Structure 1
Amino acid sequence: MTTVFWAGFWTFLLDQASKYFVVHFLDLRVRGEIDVLPPFINLRMAWNTGINFGLFADNGDVARWFLIGMAFVICAAVLFWVHKDRPGRLGLISAGLLIGGALGNVVDRFLYGAVADFLNMTCCGISNPYAFNVADITIFIGAFGLVLWGGPQKAT
């Protein structure tokens, strides 16, 4: 379980450091947008009060506290799962990525009332109106990794 802890710890730290740097140091909350490598990578401030793509964003504090609670339930379920079925190293790292990212977004909801999204990527002439953050990336990679490597480790 130390693998889960350290993967989650570093994921959480990277997520929170990137958000602090972009929101406060670069002052993206005031500037709104910064072109980094246009049109491919841009910083666009977006406060997500809902879930993916802003779904359920109009439900205010009820949605905020529900999503915080759901994140804790999901983290606990993943911890229980990897403790019970004990996947290999990649599965444990995946669990840590998912948990660290989820807790990073929980901290945002506590601090700001919404998740700080700032990464915007556009490619191939398709304009992408959505923004995301490091936690969103690690949650996706962690969930995908758990699908691939989340089963019990087989004896060799």
Structure 2
Amino acid sequence: MATKKIFPTKSSSSLTPWLGIAAIVILFDQLSKITITKTFQLGEEKIITSFFNLVLAYNKGAAFSFLSNAGGWQRHFFTAIGIGAAIYIVILLKKHGGQRMFAWALALILGGAVGNVIDRLLYGHVVDFLDFHWSGFGHFPAFNLADSAICIGAALFILDELRRVNR
């Protein structure tokens, strides 16, 4: 007599910690954005060090404000890309949850992508507030914790791929 499996399979159970990491990224990202929007006016900046400021900025485009003045269609376009990427990343995590560095990379990228999608859906723009600068070179475009998680995830992804190629 065949019985139904009550407990999840190994592949689905390995998805849980990675979704948890993504959820933590989303939580810290959203809390930081709520805090900055409640304490700063748009464009207001606070000098923290000689190379770092906090500033409230809105980005209607993508990374580095790409297409930020495109007329509004980019909000829906980048939201759709973010949702599509999140779905694909969850599928990859389900298949490759046992590959730790790869899964860390994907979880960080997932959390960052969803964090920015939430902003686009709620506000129509992404809230940025981390402003790094270097004298003589000007200011790097402002960014947020979601963007940081995406960059760290991308770096881990590249490192994982380089390790895999060198084996």
Q: Taking structure 1 as the reference length, what is the TM-score of the superposition?
A: 0.85
Alpha-carbon displacement from aligned partner over 1:79-133 (angstroms, at most 9, x marks no partner): 2223234452222222111111111111111121100011101135422152010
Give distance in 2, aligned partners of 1:64 and 1:90. 31
**Equivalent residue in structure 1 for 2:23, among 9, 18, 24:** 9
SS of equivalent residue, structure 1 residue 144? helix
Contact 1:88/1:150 (8 A) holds in 2? no
Deviates more, 1:138-147 or 1:6-15: 138-147
The answer on 1:91 being equivalent to 2:102 is: yes
Unpaired segments ≥5 residues, structure 2: 1-14
Amino acid at match of 1:21: T
In the alignment, the residues of structure 2 paired with residue 150 and residue 89 of structure 1 have an alpha-carbon distance, to the nearest angstrom, of: 12
Using the alignment, how far apart are the partners of 2:42 and 2:60 within structure 1? Answer: 18
2:51 paired with 1:40:
yes
Q: Which ranges of structure 1 fall in alignment gaps of 5 or more residues?
A: none
Taking the aligned partners of 1:114 and 1:80, their CA distance within structure 2 comes to 27
Letter in 2 for 1:48: N
Picking from 95, 118, 123, the partner of 1:112 is: 123
**Percent same amino acid among aligned pairs?**
31
- Let me know the Cα RMSD of the aligned residues: 2.1
Alpha-carbon contact 1:64-1:113 (below 8 Å) kept = yes
Looking at structure 2, the residues matched to 131 and 3 of structure 1 have their Cα atoms a distance apart, in angstroms, of 30
Pair 1:146–1:132, CA change in 2 (3 A):
same
User: SS of 1:58's equivalent?
Assistant: coil
Task: Tell me how many residue pairs correspond in the alignment.
Answer: 149
Shift of residue 9 of structure 1?
Answer: 0.6
Larger Rg: 2
Which structure has more RCO (C-alpha within 8 Å, separation ≥ 6)? Answer: 1
**How far apart in 1 are the matches of 2:113 and 2:93?**
16
Aligned partners of 1:60, 1:31: CA distance in 2, in Å? 21
Tell me the equivalent position of 2:80: 69
Distance 1:58 1:30 in 2: 17
Is 2:43–2:55's contact at 8 Å kept on the other side of the alignment? no
Alignment deviations for residues 45-68 of structure 1 (CA, whole Å, 9 cap, x no partner):
211000111111122331101100
- Counterpart-to-counterpart distance in 2, 1:3 and 1:149: 19
What's the offset of the Cα at 1:31? 6.2
4+ residue runs over 2 A deviation: 81-87, 123-126, 146-151
